[in-house]
Structure 1
Amino acid sequence: MPKALTPHALSTASATLLLALAGCAVGPTYQAPTPAAATTWHAPVPHDGQSTTLQNWWAQFNDAALTQFITWAEADSPTRTQAWTRIEQARATLTTTRAGALPAASASGSAARSGASGTTSTTVRSARLDASWEIDLFGRVRRNAEAASARIEAREADWHEARVSLAAEVADTYVQYRACGLLADAYERELASVTKTEATTATMVQAGFTAPSDGALARASLASSRSSAVRQRAQCSLLLKSLVYLTGHDEPELLATMAGGSTAVPQPAHLGVDSVPAQVLRQRPDLASLERELAASSAEIGAAQADLYPSLSLSGAITRSLGQGLTTWSFGPALAVSLFDGGAKRAAVDSANASYTSALAGYQQGVRSAVREVEEALVNLDSTRQRASEAHRAAEEYRHYLNATEANWRAGTASLLNLEEARRSALSAEIDDLTLEQSQVSYWIALYKALGGGWTPGATVSTNKNGAQP
């Protein structure tokens, strides 16, 4: 006949069973998806003997004003501050979630004095200690902690993405501003030239050497040139205000910083694109954030499934009556089973599965967008590179043609209409040349951003919002 279990043996067996059950965690085992990417780039990849890496790329522009503007923007960026606060919120969520797996204890005390008329009053004092611990039998807390931990990594990747995007936006705006200044100078030169032509034409019309229609054409050309010059200066002013917005510094300080430097469009070192698409996808912080969100969604499926099962908690209390020296205590397990909830918990599982499917689709969409951005930047770079030399040659030749036509006009062998057509062609060619020069640099910046901006997978963020430097 088997021996009956002693209370101690029963307690030990129960504890062993609880530990065994606590080791279970329901729900799917997460595996990071393998992004579907080609083995090579289809767009032309630039090859240059002086190609450099993404690290410290901005310093290789050799433009002190650009470096200063990026430093200012990163030091006081509301966007980066918001990204950092989201990291702190995610860290706090993880701490709160993990606390759910730990025992909780609380203490209370009371004192009361009572009596009746003509009787002696009495004072009753008591102290109470309560403790409880919910056993994480099916891994609900652990799955929620997994999700919270994954979201910390997602928010850290978002912070790095904000840093990369901010630097790229500052640089692109600065490049546009420099190109805008060169275009404004070109319009001012044209305006000065057209002003002289209009004055000469007016004199010739007054003397009867040319028809009044030429005077009207000269005045129309002058008005058009003035309008173009004003429009271009306004565009430059708008870009300057964008730099104020991005850097947090006022216009006089920005202009003073740029005053001592070159007015030319800054030229960056060429980026080397040696990695294949699949490697580039691992270099992008935005894709890392999407993948971590996918991991969090997977863990939340397990947390929702764990809610379908019973919950077990241990609770106890000790009460001490200080006046009477009486101590009472209680201790025992409590098992809670949901008998009817109208399908709420099952719906929570369905919702978690739908969230995972949505997160997976978002990640897949992000992969496609990343590949497209790199391919587009490569195509644009190759196109502008091929057009740039021809555009520069065209600008030089049209300028020579304008000078010759102007000389012929002064000699009386060319009409004012011929002169204005030559002027428009020369100005259009110069604008095209400067625009292509600016576009080339902008496309290099776009490629820098599309390649991940030098972010290293696993890079963490300091507890100080400005602690992680680019």
Structure 2
Amino acid sequence: MTRGRAVAATALAAAVLLAGCAAPRPPVATAEAPARWHALLPAEPAAGDAAPRADLARWWQQFDDARLAALVAEAQASSPTLAAAAARIAQARAARAGVDARAWPALDANASALRGRPDLASPTATRLGAELRASWEVDLFGRLDAAYDAARARVDATHADWHAARVALAAEVGTSYVALRACEALLDPLRADARSREETARLTTLAAEAGFRAPAAADLARASAAQARFQAEAQQQRCELELKALVALTGADEARLRDALAEGRARVPRPAAIAVDRVPAQALAQRPDLAAAAQRVAAAAAEVGQADAERYPRVTLAGAVGPARLDAGALATQGTTWSLGPLQVTLPVFDAGARAAGVDAARARYDEARAQYALALRQAVREVESALVTLQGTAARALDAQRASDGYEASLRATEGLHRGGLASLFELEDARRTALAARRDAIELERERVTAWISLYRALGGGWAPTDDAPTGTPSASADGTAVAGPSR
């Protein structure tokens, strides 16, 4: 048997004896979703009214307001949050490629030149050589394989994180836009109320100066007008803040955004209905944040196996081959040099518990990942249940709120007529105004709350994400595009 065959046979025997000793990994256990929803599901919409499940990923486009879809598209095109999430995808892919590379042999090339006399008995000589060196770790205990599995799970987690960020951004833009429109819808009656009270104050002051009204009535009318102006200005400030929030979310020029939003002012958009799976596990399977948490559990489990494998022997094999030439006076020779080996086995003997501590730390991170997944699942269930409860509650109150608003508005008009005819006091008029305005505010706030609940339900159901959805590809840029460099696959 030649020397090369003997070395190969030794390596093969070591592999046969040790291959069955792969480091164990903990199970990738996950928390269980509840068997059913406890909140009432939205009523099944009529045929043609519901948004198809496949369109949930573009749910904001199914509002009766095209401006919302344009705002979401602009926000996603320029979002630093999405750009950062895409950059994290690129980092995870690069890390995965680096781990994958360690499973392959490493090749290094070197060249050398030497001229001199190695001893007094030898002539001056020139030695030239080039060599290709190779080294390879034989992954008998699955250390490198576990590292790759962990890196791959981290990549999948960052993919899901990017989609979760996209869903969250669309929901945030939608919520802010609805809040702006609801604010405008309430601002108009507040301004109209302020104008009405100012006119009442003017007429009451004239009547008091003529002796037809008591001075106290004029004081009350002026105080009421001042309060109405205060409320209108406060509401205008809230609307400005909502607009500023949209500017920050979309990155748009404020003047251009104001012009774009001038049309459709004070009209709260209406969404299409969303169908909800009756089985919570199926509904929550669409959430990218839960998928990311599950992938982190898988990565942590693989890292436990990787840390455990560090306690086992490490086997490496090296070799080299290359041409060489020797010129020593009249003697000149050349040829190919090569070597196979050494086949090196490194046995951990004593490390003062460092490797065992590494395993304990990996297991602790695994336990933390499982706890984080269970927490994310509970939060997801809560978000869906809360959105369903809000939808049910706002639906139950909608008719009464509108009736109250219409009724108090009619009562106010009647009281104004009586006041002009001297049949109702200023106190009665002011009370009718306050009541009508409060009812109008309640109706608008209820409408905003209901539309926001639909948006919250959209977000709680994952925004139409599916595990097969592609992640962004390309080079990430903080300026905007939210993409990342594609990495190699194993």
Q: TM-score, structure 1 length as denominator?
A: 0.92
Secondary structure of the corresponding residue to residue 133 of structure 2 = strand
Shift of 1:276: 1.1
Give distance in 2, aligned partners of 1:462 and 1:425: 53
Q: 1:292-329, CA deviations, whole angstroms, 9 ceiling, x for partnerless residues?
A: 00000000000000000111111233465544346654
Given the alignment, which residue of 12, 33, 42 partners 1:16?
Answer: 12
| In the alignment, structure 1 residue 108 sits paired with structure 2 residue 110 | yes
Q: Find the counterpart in structure 2 of residue 259 from structure 1.
A: 262
Q: What is the aligned partner in structure 2 of residue 45 from structure 1?
A: 41
Shift of 1:12: 4.8
* Residue deviations 1:383-425 (CA, integer Å, cap 9, x gap): 1111111111111111111111122222222221111111111
The secondary structure found in structure 2 opposite 1:176 is: helix
- Structure 1 match to 2:227: 224
After superposition, give the CA deviation of every residue in 1:306-359 in whole Å (9 maximum; x if it has no partner).
000111111233465544346654432112122221211100000011011111
Deviations 1:101-134 (A, max 9, x none): 111111122345679xxxx997654433322111
| Matched-pair contact (CA < 8 Å) for 2:293–2:372 | yes
Shift, 1:161, TM fit: 0.4
Give 1:167's aligned residue. 170
| Cα distance in 2 between the residues matched to 1:406 and 1:378 | 41
- Partner residue of 1:316? 319
Matching of residue 236 in structure 1 with residue 239 in structure 2: yes
SS at match of 2:50: coil
- Check whether the contact 2:277–2:283 (CA below 8 A) recurs between aligned residues: no
CA deviation after TM superposition for structure 1 residue 188, in Å = 0.6
Name the CA shift for 1:113/1:200 in 2 (closer, same or farther; >3 Å): farther
Aligned to 1:68: 70
Match of residue 282, structure 2, among 279, 285, 291: 279
Q: In structure 2, how many angstroms separate the alpha carbons of the residues matched to 1:308 and 1:155?
A: 30
Does residue 1:452 correspond to 2:487, yes or no? no
- CA–CA distance in 2 between the matches of 1:236 and 1:18? 74
Amino acid at match of 2:249: L
Counterpart selection for 1:378 from 388, 402, 407 = 388
Please state how far the C-alpha of 1:31 moved relative to its aligned partner: 3.9
Assess, with a 3 A threshold, how the Cα gap between structure 1 residues 9 and 206 changes in structure 2: closer, same or farther.
same
Confirm or deny: 8 A CA contact 2:86 2:472 kept in the other structure.
no
Contact 2:29 2:370 (C-alpha < 8 Å) held by counterparts? no
Query: Does residue 396 of structure 1 match 2:445?
Result: no
Please tell me whether the aligned partners of residues 37 and 280 of structure 2 are also in contact (alpha carbons under 8 angstroms): yes
Measure the CA separation in 2 of the matches of 1:349 and 1:29: 12
2:330 corresponds in structure 1 to none
Q: Name the aligned partner's letter for residue 220 of structure 2.
A: L
Structure-to-structure mapping, 1:57-456, within 5 angstroms: 57-111=59-113, 125-261=128-264, 263-318=266-321, 321-324=324-327, 325=333, 329-330=338-339, 331-456=341-466
Q: Is residue 30–residue 299 contact of structure 1 (8 Å, CA) maintained in 2?
A: no
Cα pair 1:24 1:138 within 8 Å, conserved: yes
Match of 2:23 in 1: 26
Judge conservation of contact 1:64–1:261 (CA < 8 Å) in 2.
no
The unaligned stretches of length 5 or more in structure 1 are none
Equivalent position to 1:463, from 453, 470, 473: 473
Structure with greater contact order relative to length (CA < 8 Å, sep ≥ 6) = 2
Determine if contact 1:315/1:333 at 8 Å carries over to the other structure: yes
- 8 Å CA contact 1:127–1:322 kept in 2: the answer is no
What CA deviation, in whole Å up to 9, does each residue of 1:9-28 have, x standing for no partner? 64453343344445753122
Taking a change above 3 Å as real, the CA distance of residues 19 and 335 of structure 1, as seen in their structure-2 partners, is closer
- 1:429-455 residue CA offsets vs partner (Å, 9 max, x unmatched): 101011101111000000111111111
Distance, in Å, in 2 between the alignment partners of 1:296 and 1:76 is: 31
Given the superposition, is the C-alpha separation of residues 114 and 228 from structure 1 closer, same or farther in structure 2, using an over 3 Å criterion?
Answer: farther
Contact 2:28–2:301 under 8 Å retained in 1:
no
- Quick check: 1:60–1:269 contact (8 Å CA) kept in 2? yes
Q: Over residues 2-48 of structure 1, what are the superposed CA-to-partner deviations in whole Å (9 max), with x where a residue is unaligned?
A: xxx77576445334334444575312264452x42222211111112
In structure 2, list runs of 5 or more residues that go unmatched.
118-122, 328-332, 484-490
**Worse-superposed segment, 215-224 or 358-367:** 215-224
Secondary structure in structure 1 of the residue aligned to 2:109: strand
Shift of 1:460: 2.2
Partners of 2:234 and 2:13 in 1: CA distance: 80
What letter matches 2:408 in structure 1? Y
Specify the SS of the correspondent of 2:103.
Answer: coil
1:223 Cα deviation after fit? 1.3
Distance in 2 between the 1:322 and 1:407 partners?
116
2-structure distance, mates of 1:316, 1:335: 15
Identity %: 45
* Matches of 2:264 and 2:25, distance apart in 1: 59
* CA distance, structure 1, for counterparts of residue 300 and residue 370 of structure 2: 9
Corresponding residue SS for 1:227: helix
Distance 2:150 2:175 in 1: 37
Q: Distance in 2 between matches of 1:91 and 1:138?
A: 24
Task: Give the match for residue 120 of structure 2.
Answer: none
Q: 2:86–2:482: 8 Å Cα contact kept in structure 1?
A: no
Does the residue aligned with 2:273 lie in a helix, a strand or coil?
coil
SS at match of 1:453: helix
Distance 2:40 2:297 in 1: 33
Q: Which moved more, 1:250-259 or 1:152-161?
A: 250-259
Residue 208 of structure 1 deviates from its aligned partner by: 1.2
How many equivalent residue pairs? Answer: 459
